[in-house]
């Protein structure tokens, strides 16, 4: 450069800022699309899960293993330990509603589409109580719900399931005459199943609510214990079955 002359001003590159700005706009435009795609994919997956559950629920009683429907033990967490309060003694063959349920209950459910009944017998860990739990397959829980509510809200619905004796176990002499309390409830949200129960003492030699001597004052509590036991076991079992069906249906 000749002395005394100033350097020429730098040449501006036209369009550089415009290109950068355009890239930013494009990126910002794609980002919501990506987010929308992720949301749509998740919604599709959720839809697939729901469709799968809807299809599986009515056939779960065929497709689940017997020990998934009736676990070896029934119990609920208590602190850091799980109380396995009831032990399964045996599982009965599939039966009709008329064979497996108390007459009035069977007739009411048959009118609402009762198809079949699965039953299993459990004994309390203390050996002092026996229970037979039933899974009743219906066409639609919406149809069966009025019957379930009628028996659920009854002050004392009594035993609703025909007991299943299991030879060679503490439930060997578990018969209808020993059944003392019971109840019914739905399973999950609008699943086509009803859970029902009968509970009674393992010792059939004494009358419930009739205690001798110094224990006479506890007779009322002795009477009340079986309906309470029935209610707790039934509600807990319905939740266990709901989890089993939901878990396999996804």
Q: Tokens 């048959």: give the residue.
A: 110
Indicate the pTM of the whole model.
0.72
pLDDT in tens, 199-247: 998 876 666 655 555 544 444 555 667 888 899 999 999 999 999 998 8
Mean pLDDT of 151-179: 87
pLDDT digits (tens, 9 = 90+) for 45-83: 444 444 446 788 888 998 999 999 999 999 765 544 455
* pLDDT(190) > 90: no
Identify the band that residue 116 occupies on the pLDDT scale cut at 50, 70 and 90. Answer: very high
Helix (H, G, I), strand (E, B) or coil at 216: helix
**Which residues fall within 8 angstroms of residue 187, CB to CB, at 6 or more apart?**
135, 141, 193, 194, 195, 238, 241, 242, 245
* CB 118, CB 97: distance < 8 Å: no
Which residue did the predictor score with more confidence, 48 or 109? Answer: 109
pLDDT at res. 177: 86
Q: Report the interhelical angle of 219-249 vs 16-56 (nearest 10°).
A: 130
- CB burial of residue 119 (10 Å; 0-12, 13-18, 19+): buried
Sheet strand arrangement including 181-186 = 73-78, 81-91, 114-124, 129-138, 193-201, 181-186
Cα–Cα distance between 8 and 152 in angstroms, integer?
A: 96
Residue 34 pLDDT > 80, yes or no? no
- pLDDT the model gives residue 97: 95
Q: How far is CA 22 from CA 25, 28, 33, 133, in A?
A: 5, 10, 17, 69
* Residue 85 pLDDT exceeds 70: yes
């Amino acid at each position: 450069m000749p002395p005394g002359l100033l350097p020429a001003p730098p040449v501006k590159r036209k369009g550089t800022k415009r290109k950068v700005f355009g890239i930013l706009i494009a990126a910002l435009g794609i980002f919501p699309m990506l987010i929308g795609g992720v949301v749509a994919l998740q919604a599709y997956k959720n839809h697939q899960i729901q469709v799968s559950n809807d299809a599986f629920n009515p056939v779960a009683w065929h497709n689940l293993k017997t020990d998934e429907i009736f676990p070896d033990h029934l119990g609920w967490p208590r602190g850091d330990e799980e109380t396995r309060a009831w032990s399964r003694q045996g599982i009965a063959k599939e039966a009709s509603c008329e064979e497996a349920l108390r007459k009035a209950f069977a007739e009411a459910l048959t009118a609402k589409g009762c198809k079949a009944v699965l039953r299993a017998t459990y004994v309390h860990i203390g050996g002092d109580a026996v229970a037979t739990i039933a899974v009743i397959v219906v066409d639609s829980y919406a149809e069966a719900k009025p019957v379930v509510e009628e028996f659920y809200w009854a002050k004392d619905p009594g035993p609703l399931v025909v007991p299943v004796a299991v030879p060679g176990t503490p439930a060997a002499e578990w018969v209808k005459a020993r059944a003392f309390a019971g109840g019914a409830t739905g399973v999950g949200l609008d699943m086509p199943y009803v859970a029902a129960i009968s509970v009674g003492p393992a010792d059939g030699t004494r009358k419930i609510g009739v205690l001798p001597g110094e224990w006479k004052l506890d007779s009322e509590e002795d009477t009340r214990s079986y309906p309470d036991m029935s209610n707790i076991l039934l509600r807990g079992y319905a939740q266990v079955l709901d989890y089993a069906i939901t878990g396999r249906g996804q």
